[in-house]
Structure 1
Amino acid sequence: MNDVEAAIKTAIQTEKNAMNFYQIGAEQMKDPEAKRLFEQLAKEEKEHAAQFYREYHGNDIPSFDGFMATPPEYASVWVGSIRKLIGDDFTEERALELAMERESNLESTLRQTASKLTDDAVRAVFERNADETRNHYLTIESEYARIMKMVHESDIDIFVRE
């Protein structure tokens, strides 16, 4: 397997881990809006994995749907970190903080990988996913502000003028 194929395969697995993170987190959520957000992010992570899968030419993942349906990789940073929160310590606030951290790290990794790729089509997939990951971060940050009852970014101008 060449370096590009290895990078793509790693990206597919990472996006699956992120999907599982949001699925597990959504199951724990009591706040309906936070739950809805995690469910939506899980769907989008699956879409990201599909974008990478379309660029993958290896033969060790014969079925995308079959691969995505496999059990979560509990040892992964994504899944392991959300599982540590489950129990008495789980709060939407902590889950959202963790999600922002994970998304920020993923964006950085995607951009670093993209900068090293010479295949324009594959690099574009990594860059597009980095941009979408940044959007995830911003969406989670907004939900975090709501949960924490912080001034929402849409109210900043009003707040500053008063």
Structure 2
Amino acid sequence: MFEEIDVDDAIKKAIQTEKNAMNFYELGALQMKDPDAVKFFQLLAREERQHAGQFYKIYQGSDIADFDELMDTPPDHQSSWLAALAKSINSDFNEQKAMELAMEKELNLEKALRETAAQIKSAEVRAIFELNAQETHNHYELIESEYARIMAMVHESDMDIYVRE
């Protein structure tokens, strides 16, 4: 049974959350020293922008005029994404901490997207939330892999080489 939620409000919040995630990755990349980690966060920022675009396409409200204009507005430093990043930057920021924070934020976002999807009657809108939840899960897995690289851990594709009978 579906609970009644304001779908336009949920979509609008999703757009803003994806923008906050995009800004998180953009600003995080500026703080990193590892060139591969910088490129990785820049890639995630571009993908978060695409996620916001998926939500924007199904938004029925009239209070968001232009997608590019919205995405180019200054970051909301009060958002949970950017507040967490600012706290991390102020306490010995490094790539490891950034990746750990990113994994935590992506897990929380995936859960929120799935919970919202479960409350939406429209199959089309629900599908967008579910798609973004899956893409968010994929981000988590990518970040986990990059974290392993940063930490010089054995990559999952090399695990069988190190397993002994």
TM bucket normalised to smaller: over 0.9
Question: What do you get for the CA RMSD once the two structures are aligned?
Answer: 1.1
Alignment of 1:1-162 (within 5 A): 3-87=6-90, 89-161=92-164
Runs of 4+ in structure 1 deviating by more than 6 angstroms, as ranges, are none
> d(CA) in 1 for partners of 2:32 and 2:164?
35
| Sequence identity (%) | 61
Shift of 1:86: 1.9
1:151 is displaced (CA, Å) by 1.0
Equivalent AA in structure 2 for residue 9 of structure 1: K
Instruction: For residue 83 of structure 1, report the CA deviation from its aligned partner.
Output: 1.5
In structure 2, C-alpha distance between the alignment counterparts of 1:94 and 1:86, rounded to whole Å: 9
The Cα shift of 1:161 comes to 3.3
Shift of 1:85: 1.9
Structure with larger RCO (C-alpha < 8 A, sep 6+): 2
Residue 161 of structure 1: SS of its match in structure 2?
A: coil
TM-score, scaled relative to structure 2 = 0.95
Deviation at 1:149, TM superposition (A): 1.0
Given residue 30 of structure 2, which amino acid in structure 1 is its aligned partner? E
1:128, CA displacement in angstroms? 0.3
Q: What are structure 2's unaligned runs of at least 5 residues? A: none
Query: TM-score with structure 1 length normalisation?
Result: 0.96
Cα distance in 1 for partners of 2:35, 2:162 equals 27
Helix, strand or coil for the counterpart of 1:139? helix
**Would you say how many aligned residue pairs link Structure 1 and Structure 2?**
161
User: 1:128 aligns to what SS in structure 2?
Assistant: helix
Deviation sequence 1:45-78 (CA, Å, 0-9, x none): 0000000000001111100000001110111000
TM-aligned CA deviation for residue 88 of structure 1: 5.8
